[in-house]
Homo-oligomer: A and B are copies of this chain.
Amino acid sequence: MGKDDNKKMVEDITSMDVDFAQWYTDIVKKAELCDYSSMKGCIILEPAGFAIWEMIQQKLDKMFKDTGVVNCAMPLFIPEGLLQKEKDHVEGFAPEVAWVTQGGLEPLQEKCCVRPTSETLFCDYYQKKIHSYRDLPKLQNQWCSVVRWEKTTRPFLRSREFWWQEGHTAHATAEEAQARTEQMLNIYADFCEKDLAIPAVKGQKTDKEKFAGAIATYTIEALMHDGQALQSGTSHNFGDGFARAFNIQYTDKDNQLRYVHQTSWGMSTRIIGAIIMVHGDNEGLKLPPHVAPTQVVICPIMQQKPGVMEKAQELCAKLSAAGIRVKVDDRDKTPGFKFADSEMRGTPVRLEIGPRDIENGEAVLVRRDTHEKVVVKLDELEQKTAELLEDIQNAMFEKAKAHLESHTFSAVTIDEMEKILDENTGFVKAMWCGCRECEDAIKEKTGATSRCMPFNQEHIADTCINCGKPAQKMVYWGRAY
C-alpha cells in the first residue's frame, strides 16, 4: 500500500463544490456514521456515528440534570384514543404515524401508533401523578427513538425513525413554564456553541412553523456550509392547552384547583448532520474536540522498528490518564493510509511518533482543522495536547461564526431577497407584517421559509418586505433542510 491508496481514499469523497449532497452522503458512508437498512426509510447508527451521539448524550444529559431534570422511559406505543385528545396535536401528527394493528396472532381492539413524540403519554402520566402544588414542578426527560412516516429520507436529516431526547415539564404557573422554555433553549444554544462549535441563532417560530399544540415554539437555527439552514433544537411552551385536554389539575396553597402549564423540548440525531455540514471539508469529517469520541489518534512511524509501538502505547496511556480520549492506530497499514483515514474520520489531532522523534524526546501533533504541525517535547505532551484541543475547539467555532456572519444578509425588497438567495445562499434578514399570507407568499417567491423571529431584533425597514404594511418583526428567512 502506498500513496495511491491514500489518494484513492480521498478521491472517493466528492468535492463539496461539485455536489454538496453527494459530498454529504460520501462522508456519512465512508466515515461509517450510518447505513441504510432493509427497513425502508430507517437508518442504522453505526458505531462511529453512535459514538458521537453518546458524547452528545453525556454532555446534554448532565446539563439537564444540573437544572433538576430526571430521566424516565415512557411506552413506545400510544393508543389511538390518547393521541386524539388534543385537537391541534393529533392534526399535526396523525398523517405521519405508523400504526400497529395486530399483536401476536390477533388484531388489536384499539389500534395504537408508534410514538411520533410523547406529549400525550406524559400528559396521561402527569394527570395521575399531579395532585397538589407540592407535586410540582415535574421535570422529566427521556432518551429514545421516535417514528414519523416521512416520504423522502436522508441520513441523520430525515428518516422514519430518529433518536432524540424529549423533555416534558409541568409547572404551577405560566411564568414558570415560560422561564423553563427559555432556559432549555439557552441550554441547547450553549451546547451548540461551546461543545459543537456551531453558532446558533436563537428566536421564536412563527405561528405557521410552531409545534402542533404549542402556544410558542423557540428554536436554534444553524447555517450549513452550503448556506442552507438547519433547525437544531426546539423548546415549546404549551400554556395550559394540554392540561385542559387531559385534565391535569392541582390544588394550590389556597386550596384552589388550577391547571398546570407545560413545556417540551428536544434535540435529535439531526444535529450530527449539522456537525458534518458546518465543519466538514473535502478531506472528510471534522469533529469538534469536545464531542469527538477519539480526540487524538496516535500513528506510529516505522512501527516495525523496536520500541516504536511500545512508545506509542506508552504515550497513549499517558494521554488517557490525563483525561484525553486517545487511540493508537496499530493496523498493518502505511502511515499515509492512516493519515488520510484519520482525516476522513475527523479526529481532531493526529500524533506522529517515529524512531527519530523518540530519540529527540519529541512527537509531532497535526491539527485536523488547519493541517498545522507542532513539535512537542514528550515531557510536556499532556499539557500541550490539551491546550491544542481547546485551540482547535475555539478555532472551529470562530470559523463557523465567520461563515454565519458572511452568509447573513439583509433585504428590504422581495427582489433583493430573491437575488441574495439565488447568488449567496444563507440567511436573509427582512421585516414582516406578521400575517400568514405574506409568509406563504415569501416562500412561494423565494423558496425560503421563516426560520425564526430572533431574540436580537434589528430595525431593517418600517414595512413588511412582501405587503408593505407596517412591520411587526424582523425575521430570519432561509432555505432549509
Which residues in A have some Cβ–Cβ distance to B below 8 Å? 35, 37-40, 42-47, 49-51, 53-54, 70-79, 82, 95-105, 112, 114, 121, 124-125, 128-129, 140, 144-145, 147, 149, 160-161, 163
* Chain B residues near A39 (CB-CB < 8 A): 75, 77-79, 82, 112, 121
* Chain B residues near A98 (CB-CB < 8 A): 77, 100, 102-104
A112 and B147 CA atoms in complex are apart in Å by: 14
> Could you list 8 further interchain pairs (A-B, Cβ under 8 angstroms) beyond the known A37-B124, A100-B101?
A35-B129, A39-B78, A44-B75, A47-B70, A49-B72, A95-B104, A95-B105, A114-B114
User: A102-B99, A104-B97, A149-B104 known; A75 and B42 CB under 8 Å?
Assistant: yes
Prevailing SS type, chain A contact patch: mixed
User: A95-B105, A104-B149, A114-B100 known; A125 and B73 CB under 8 Å?
Assistant: no
A73's partner among B44, B75, B78 (CB-CB below 8 A) is B44
13 cross-chain CB contacts under 8 A = A35-B128, A35-B129, A37-B75, A37-B124, A39-B79, A42-B75, A43-B75, A47-B71, A50-B70, A73-B163, A76-B145, A98-B102, A98-B104
Whether A37 contacts B125 by the Cβ 8 Å rule is yes
* Chain B residues near A70 (CB-CB < 8 A): 47, 50-51
A105 and B98 CA atoms in complex are apart in Å by: 9
Whether A104 contacts B96 by the Cβ 8 Å rule is yes
Whether A44 contacts B161 by the Cβ 8 Å rule is no
Whether A44 contacts B71 by the Cβ 8 Å rule is no
* Chain B residues near A79 (CB-CB < 8 A): 38-40
Whether B163 contacts A76 by the Cβ 8 Å rule is no
Instruction: State the Cβ distance, A43 to closest chain B Cβ, in Å.
Output: 7
Instruction: State the Cβ distance, A152 to closest chain B Cβ, in Å.
Output: 13
* Chain B residues near A103 (CB-CB < 8 A): 98-99, 149, 160
Residue of B nearest to A48 (CB): B70
Whether A99 contacts B101 by the Cβ 8 Å rule is yes
Whether B77 contacts A50 by the Cβ 8 Å rule is no
* Chain B residues near A128 (CB-CB < 8 A): 35
* Chain B residues near A104 (CB-CB < 8 A): 95-98, 149
Please list the 3 inter-chain residue pairs (A to B) with the smallest Cβ-Cβ separation, ordered nearest first. Answer: A42-B75, A45-B73, A103-B149
Residue of B nearest to A147 (CB): B76
User: A96-B104, A102-B99 known; A73 and B35 CB under 8 Å?
Assistant: no
* Chain B residues near A49 (CB-CB < 8 A): 72
A163 and B72 CA atoms in complex are apart in Å by: 12
User: A79-B39, A95-B105, A98-B102 known; A50 and B72 CB under 8 Å?
Assistant: yes
* Chain B residues near A82 (CB-CB < 8 A): 38-39
* Chain B residues near A38 (CB-CB < 8 A): 79, 82, 121, 124
Instruction: State the Cβ distance, A304 to closest chain B Cβ, in Å.
Output: 18
Whether A71 contacts B50 by the Cβ 8 Å rule is yes
* Chain B residues near A71 (CB-CB < 8 A): 47, 50-51, 54
Whether B44 contacts A125 by the Cβ 8 Å rule is yes
* Chain B residues near A54 (CB-CB < 8 A): 71
Instruction: State the Cβ distance, A124 to closest chain B Cβ, in Å.
Output: 5
Whether B97 contacts A99 by the Cβ 8 Å rule is no
A73 and B44 CA atoms in complex are apart in Å by: 6
Instruction: State the Cβ distance, A75 to closest chain B Cβ, in Å.
Output: 4
Whether B76 contacts A47 by the Cβ 8 Å rule is no
Instruction: State the Cβ distance, A466 to closest chain B Cβ, in Å.
Output: 33
A43 and B149 CA atoms in complex are apart in Å by: 25
Residue of B nearest to A150 (CB): B104
Name the residue in A35, A70, A100, A163 with the highest tally of chain B Cβ atoms < 10 Å from its Cβ.
A100
Whether A72 contacts B45 by the Cβ 8 Å rule is yes
Whether A74 contacts B37 by the Cβ 8 Å rule is yes
Whether A121 contacts B73 by the Cβ 8 Å rule is no
Instruction: State the Cβ distance, A114 to closest chain B Cβ, in Å.
Output: 7
Instruction: State the Cβ distance, A153 to closest chain B Cβ, in Å.
Output: 12
* Chain B residues near A114 (CB-CB < 8 A): 76, 100, 114
Name the residue in A44, A71, A75, A140 with the highest tally of chain B Cβ atoms < 10 Å from its Cβ.
A75
Whether B72 contacts A46 by the Cβ 8 Å rule is yes
* Chain B residues near A160 (CB-CB < 8 A): 103
Instruction: State the Cβ distance, A184 to closest chain B Cβ, in Å.
Output: 18
Residue of B nearest to A53 (CB): B73
